[in-house]
Amino acid sequence: MQATRGRSLLRSRVSGWRLWAFVLAYLLVFTPSARADTAVNTTAAFTFSGTNTCVIPAEDFAGTGGLHVIVSSSLSTDGMVHSHLKANFQGMQATALISGKKYQVPASETDSYEFDTPDFAPFHTTFEFMVQFIRVGEGGTYIFGDDFFEHFLAHATINANGVVTVDDLTDDTRCQ
């Protein structure tokens, strides 16, 4: 139970900015300036915290890095809207609050939405993210089993008749 709660907490803290990104993508799609190919490319400093449940006892950590986001959208002549969000965490590093252990944090996320206007059918969406919290040993050596890893992939397709034809979800979370 502790591991599941810790992973949910980690996921919610690391991915809390997704609502903001979705709102930004929505505004890009439905504002007049987004009717042509539009892209927003930005990088911002980012702080985070979480809990590594792959070690006993579980270990709280805090870190910093950069969040690089590219949001793009377009409206084709046949009425299809294409919206994409790509996020990469750059230079992410963390430190355990009590033990002082160091973490390297490679992570990325991709979201895409394609739909027809004005009825939103057909509709395709894919959401994928990968995050790792790699705990580095005292001498910078790799220690097996103390790293948190998660790969999440969700995809849905609704055809022009409004019928769901694809509804896939995978979540691979493990200690490695």
pLDDT for the residue 111: 80
- Has residue 101 got a pLDDT over 60? yes
Instruction: Pick the range with the lowest mean pLDDT from 27-31, 94-98, 112-116, 163-167.
Output: 27-31
pLDDT single digits (tens) 135-157? 886 555 556 678 888 899 999 99
Q: In a 3-state reduction of DSSP, which class is residue 25?
A: helix
Q: What is the CA radius of gyration of the chain?
A: 19
User: Read out DSSP for 70-81?
Assistant: EEEEEE-TTSEE
Q: Do 68 and 90 meet the contact criterion of CB atoms below 8 Å apart?
A: yes
pLDDT for the residue 15: 44
pLDDT single digits (tens) 35-78? 456 678 888 998 888 888 888 888 899 999 988 888 888 887 87
pLDDT for the residue 23: 43
Give the mean model confidence (pLDDT) for residues 7-22. 43
Residue 31: other Cβ atoms inside 10 A: 11
Q: Where are the domains of the chain?
A: 2-175
- Has residue 2 got a pLDDT over 70? no
pLDDT for the residue 141: 52
